A and B are shown apart, each in its own frame.
Chain A
Amino acid sequence: MSLNILVCVKRVPATGAKITLTADEQEIDTRHLAFTVSPHEECAVEEAVRLVEKHGGSATVLTLGPEEATQQLRDALAMGVEHALLLETDGADWDPQATTEAIVDAIREAEEKAGQPFDLLLFGNEAADTGGYQVPIRVSHTLDRPCVTGIKGLEIDGEAGDRITATARRETTGGWELYAVSTPAVFSVKEGINLPRYPPLRGKLRAKKKPIQQTSPAYTAGGLQKIRLRVPEEQAQQAQHLGSGVAAVPNILAVLKEMEFVES
């Protein structure tokens, strides 16, 4: 068996305890922030690398973003991904429909060149920043492939002809739902499917030298368009001080009694 995997990631700022906006309220002020990929997607990259390590094949990472997103592609290469593809934009938000179109075009082109489809397309369940919850499904529908979202487990079951069968696990309250599908298929991954590795130094050095394939997709606006961003108003909360150390225990107990968690 050999698995041909594409994993899609998005460059996002690593926000801390507070978000500050630019003066025009169009973006997060990122002057003092580092960048990363969404946690779900970091796990998707790890999953792609593990699947290739176990079953053979190769993984490709794709991102739609500014030139600086090359850094996030290199991070994935350092983790063990083979190839990287940058769909370069000017860095402004692309709505989910425009994003889908650009990704689908890139996938079609890559598959045509390779003469075969990617067995698996992996995404994060939702981007940490825009939280659109739809690009993986839109891509799967446009390419007419099955899609299981929000998975926290993926097992390759075997081969049947030129198709590979896989079972994905989705966590529910008190258990798991299983979804068996055959490839080519699309999965969106949730954090928790694995614990991503720290890229080894060797991998980081290798990643620096790897070529990154670049295209500049055309933007066609979809029907959801940002007007402005706003930091939600915080209700100024004055915490009631229950005391310090063990001296606070009677007051804690009083709260628990009042809320009927312990009998008074």
Chain B
Amino acid sequence: MILGIIEHDRGRINKLSLEMMTFGRRLAAERETGFGAVLIGAGAEALVELMADYGVSQIYHVQHPRLDDYAPEAWAQSVLGLFPTAGPDVVLAAGTDRGQEVMAHVATRANLPLAANCLAVHAGEPFQVTRQRWGGSLLEEATLSGSPRLMTVAPFVIAAEEATMPTEPDIIPIMPEITDRDFRVRITGRVKTDSDKISLADARIVIGGGRGVGSSEGFAILEKLAGLLGGAVGGSRVVTNKGWRSHADQIGQTGTRIAPDLYIACGISGAIQHMVGCKGAQRIMAINLDPEAPIIGKADYLVVGDLHEVLPALVEEIESL
């Protein structure tokens, strides 16, 4: 059995879990075994239909009054508790903050190795994986031992795809054995910021600015364009290191990974650390003074010019429509 840990927020699925499930279902088919989904916490009932669409054969529904909010060690302990029943030979999670965290706890508790951000498996002897280094700008082929094999799935590499035929998964309720100790680390509070703002990670269109924007004030025109198009504004590492934008707006290896339909990169040269952050974009439009900038090699559309001239003209044009 291949087991996948599904990440959801009170019944709303994290879309990277869909990619992980696509990866897991294919691996299960290749190995002629089932694909089981682990659902932890409140709201999981709402996800049963989706699990069927993605070809899940068993749903392990872990329920415990204290598991309604996130606690990494308690989640890991719940997953470990399934091993005797489910007998997985591979356990997967999406390569998200929580996915990496829970799997690392599972790995250390079970004294097993863990391969983070995998994008391919060659399940022979030895068992081999292809995984990302440098945020995806370099790949590593490696052997992975242990039973079960533990992996997280690299984000934005495998396109989420439903199964050709929906399944009728068995739902197996599980009451985990967890102790106070497993709750040493848990969410003890939440702070909301700009809840109306479209988030960088979810935006359908992102306007990004780099060194070429020149200043914090220079971002006003990017903000204006994003507002007109219903998008979000982000920036390169230069921009957040200079303090022109808050770090929350950074697109890249040490910031946010974006996956919009269109990414308009303005005055961004395209260092690899930035490009791995926008790999998930369907299309990239580069507006740059330098037609030789590295980003041009990754772009679908190129505009050679000064963003401070092109963007105001574009904004004016859109406003006049």
A contact set with B: CB distance below 8 Å: 15-19, 28, 39-40, 95-97, 100, 126, 128-134, 137-138, 141-142, 146-150, 152, 167, 169-171, 173-181, 190-192, 195, 222-232, 234, 237, 239-246, 248-253, 255-256, 259, 261-263
Contact B134 A181 (CB under 8 A): no
- Count of chain B residues near A, Cβ 8 A: 98
Contact A255 B301 (CB under 8 A): yes
Q: Which residues on A sit within 8 Å (CB–CB) of B195?
A: 174-175
Contact B305 A226 (CB under 8 A): no
15 contacts between A and B (CB under 8 A): A39-B254, A96-B113, A100-B108, A130-B133, A133-B116, A137-B104, A192-B248, A224-B143, A227-B140, A227-B142, A232-B138, A245-B305, A251-B303, A259-B205, A261-B231
Cross-interface CB contact of B109 among A132, A141, A263, cutoff 8 Å: A141
B contact set with A: CB distance below 8 Å: 70, 72, 95, 97, 100-101, 103-105, 107-109, 112-117, 128, 130, 132-146, 152, 184-195, 197, 199, 201-202, 204-205, 228-231, 237, 240-241, 243, 246-248, 250, 253-255, 261-262, 269-273, 283, 285-286, 294, 296-306, 309-310, 313-314, 317-318, 321
Cross-interface CB contact of A224 among B144, B273, B285, cutoff 8 Å: B144
Tally the A-B contacts, defined by beta carbons under 8 Å: 252
Q: Which residues on B sit within 8 Å (CB–CB) of A224?
A: 113-115, 142-145
Q: Which residues on A sit within 8 Å (CB–CB) of B152?
A: 133
State in angstroms the CA–CA spacing of A95 and B184 once bound together: 28
Given contacts A134-B116, A227-B142, contact A174 B194 (CB under 8 A): yes
Given contacts A19-B272, A133-B116, A191-B247, contact A176 B191 (CB under 8 A): yes
The 10 closest A-B pairs by CB, nearest first: A192-B247, A223-B113, A178-B189, A223-B145, A134-B104, A133-B100, A137-B104, A245-B305, A239-B302, A141-B108
Cross-interface CB contact of B135 among A131, A246, A250, A256, cutoff 8 Å: A131
Q: Which residues on A sit within 8 Å (CB–CB) of B243?
A: 195
Contact A95 B113 (CB under 8 A): yes
Q: Which residues on A sit within 8 Å (CB–CB) of B269?
A: 17
Contact B97 A150 (CB under 8 A): yes
Contact A129 B116 (CB under 8 A): no
Given contacts A131-B117, A224-B115, contact A137 B101 (CB under 8 A): yes
Given contacts A181-B185, A248-B303, contact A152 B137 (CB under 8 A): no
Contact A179 B185 (CB under 8 A): yes
State in angstroms the CA–CA spacing of A213 and B249 once bound together: 39
Q: Which residues on B sit within 8 Å (CB–CB) of A16?
A: 271-272
Contact B134 A237 (CB under 8 A): no
Cross-interface CB contact of B303 among A39, A147, A174, A244, cutoff 8 Å: A244
Q: Which residues on A sit within 8 Å (CB–CB) of B141?
A: 226-230
Contact B134 A15 (CB under 8 A): yes
B99 to chain A, nearest CB (A): 9
Output the residue of B128, B191, B250, B273 with the most chain A CB within 10 A.
Answer: B191
> Could you list 5 further interchain pairs (A-B, Cβ under 8 angstroms) beyond the known A138-B104, A227-B141, A240-B300?
A137-B108, A178-B191, A223-B112, A241-B301, A252-B310
Given contacts A137-B101, A227-B142, contact A249 B314 (CB under 8 A): yes
B271 to chain A, nearest CB (A): 6
Q: Which residues on B sit within 8 Å (CB–CB) of A97?
A: 113
Given contacts A137-B101, A253-B318, contact A227 B143 (CB under 8 A): yes
Cross-interface CB contact of A226 among B140, B230, B300, B314, cutoff 8 Å: B140
